[in-house]
Amino acid sequence: MTKLQSNTVIRAALDLLNEVGVDGLTTRKLAERLGVQQPALYWHFRNKRALLDALAEAMLKERHTYSVPKADDDWHSFLIGNARSFRHALLAYRDGARIHAGTRPSEPQMGIVETQLRFLCESGFSTGDAVYALMTISYFTVGAVLEQQAGESDFDLSCDTLEQTPILRAAIGVLEHAGPDASFEQGLAMIIDGLAKRRI
C-alpha cells in the first residue's frame, strides 16, 4: 500500500475546495476523494484548521509570485506588486480569502516576512510602521477578496431610499461602474499615499 504524502492530500484538498467551497470541504469528503479512511488524514493534519492552514500556505507558494522585493523595486513598487500578487493568489481558489483569514506566518514563511520588513526599514520606515504597513495591506486585500468572493450584490438604484440619498446613490454608481479590480486599486492607492507620509 502506497504511503499517503502530505502534498497529495493538499493537492486533492485544493481541487475539492474549488468544487464544494470551504463549507463543503470536510475530512470525510477528502478521505473519500483520496480513497483512504478518514483517520489516515490525521497523520498529516490533526484537524481541519491545520489542513486549512496548509492550504493557505500552498496557495501562496503556488500563486503568490511577488512575495519579496525585486532588484529594481522601491518601497512603493514592492508594496503594490506584492498586494496585487497576493490578491491574485487568493482569487485563484474558491473561498481563498476565507481559507487565508486568521492564519499566521508559518516557520518557512518567516524568512520572507523578515526580508519584507528589512526592505521597508531600509527604505525609511520604522519597524513599527513597516509591520503595520504589511498588516494593513494584507487585511485590506483579504477583505476585498472576501467581499468579491462572497458574490456580487447589485443595488437597486431606483429604490425609494436611494432616491432620497443622492450622494449615496452616486457613490454606489461609482463602485458598480468601477468593478472589483478598479475598486481594489483605488483602495490600495489610498493606503500607499498614506504610507508615504510615515517614512522617516
Per-residue pLDDT, averaged over 72-94, amounts to: 97
Statement: residue 180 has pLDDT above 70: yes
Statement: residue 109 has pLDDT above 90: no
Statement: residue 155 has pLDDT above 70: no
What's the alpha-carbon Rg for the chain, to the nearest Å?
20
Number of neighbours of residue 110 by Cβ within 10 angstroms: 11
What span, in angstroms and rounded, lies between the C-alpha atoms of 151 and 109?
A: 30
Beta strand spans in 129-200 (E):
none
Is 98 within 8 Å of 20 (Cβ atoms)?
no
What span, in angstroms and rounded, lies between the C-alpha atoms of 118 and 130?
A: 8
